[in-house]
Amino acid sequence: EHTFEVSLTIPSRPFYIIPAEPDWIHRPQRLEWDYQRATLSGLMRNFDVRHDSSAIEARLAYDSYLENGRPGEVIDLRVSFNDVELSSHVTPRQVLSEEEAAGGKRVALKIDPIEPEGGYRSGDYYGNVVLMFNARAPGAQ
C-alpha cells in the first residue's frame, strides 16, 4: 500500500502570477559555474500572469545578491521580469501592460549574476530574491 498527498491550487481568474513550472519555486535554485569560460550562469524561469482590469507592476523587496560571509565578497544579481529590469526602489516598474495582462501571458523571470570588480572569488555563496507584484490602480499613469 502507498499513500501520498495530492493538492491543487486554482488561481483566481481576475489576477494571478504563478510559476509555469511549479516544482522549483520552493527549492533553492543553483547558478552553475562554467569552468571553460570561468563565469557564472544565470537562471531563467517562466511565470503565467493575468490581470483583468489593469497593468501589473513589480519590484524587488530588497537588493538581490549572493554572499559567502566574507567581507567584500558579494555577487550582485540583475533581476528582470518580462525583460524589465527590477530594483528595490519603492516605486514599482510596469512589467505588463493592461492589454498584455488582460489576455494572460507567459513571461520569463531572469536572474543574472554581475561579475564583481576583480572577478569571481571561490566560495559557497547564498542569497535570496524576493519579488513583489501588484496590480496598478485602474487609470493610473
The residue among 62, 67, 44 whose CA lies nearest residue 116 is: 67
Say which CATH architecture domain 34-135 belongs to. Sandwich (2.60)
Residue 139 — very low, low, confident or very high, per pLDDT cuts 50/70/90?
low
d(CA 43, CA 24): 12
Q: What is the mean pLDDT of residues 6-33?
A: 85
pLDDT at 19 over 70: yes
Q: Is the pLDDT of residue 106 over 90?
A: yes
Handedness of CA 82, 84, 90, 91 (dihedral sign): negative
pTM of the model: 0.86
What is the phi/psi pair of residue 107, to 5°? -130, 160
pLDDT at 6: 83
pLDDT for position 12: 62
| Banded pLDDT at 30 (limits 50, 70, 90) | very high
